[in-house]
Amino acid sequence: MKHLSYKGYLGTIEPDLDSGTLFGKLAFIRDLVTYEATDIKELIREFQVSVDGYLEDCAELGKMPDTPCKGSFNVRVGHDLHMAASVAASRENISLNDLARRALSEYIAHHVEH
């Protein structure tokens, strides 16, 4: 799926087949911010207006806006994989975080279209 991008935020693009419109929401944040339009150019504008409005609302409320993908996440991998990864990282004299970062980077490089 392609995403819209503006000021560090990503937005989804979804069709509503019943109404013939497009809609979306900010992705990878906990707050719900949506937008809709009748064509892609308008959807891009509405996405940007929604991001700006979200940031303005947060400032007015004295609230820190959610930011997508802060750089850390928890992964449950099970005991055996956790142990094997810890041993592998130790053998390489790197942290488990570095091992996971390398593994994710390698996967992205070989499996995700850029």
Q: What is the pLDDT of residues 63-82, one digit of tens each?
A: 999 999 888 888 999 999 99
Phi, psi for residue 38 in degrees, rounded to 5: -100, -15
For residue range 8-18, what is the model confidence (pLDDT) as tens digits? 999 999 999 99
pLDDT for the residue 31 = 96
Instruction: Report pTM.
Output: 0.75
Nearby residues of 18 by Cβ (< 8 Å), 6 or more positions away: none
Residue 1 has pLDDT above 70, yes or no: no
Cα separation of 33 and 9, whole Å?
11
Instruction: Share the mean pLDDT of the chain.
Output: 94
pLDDT for the residue 49 = 98
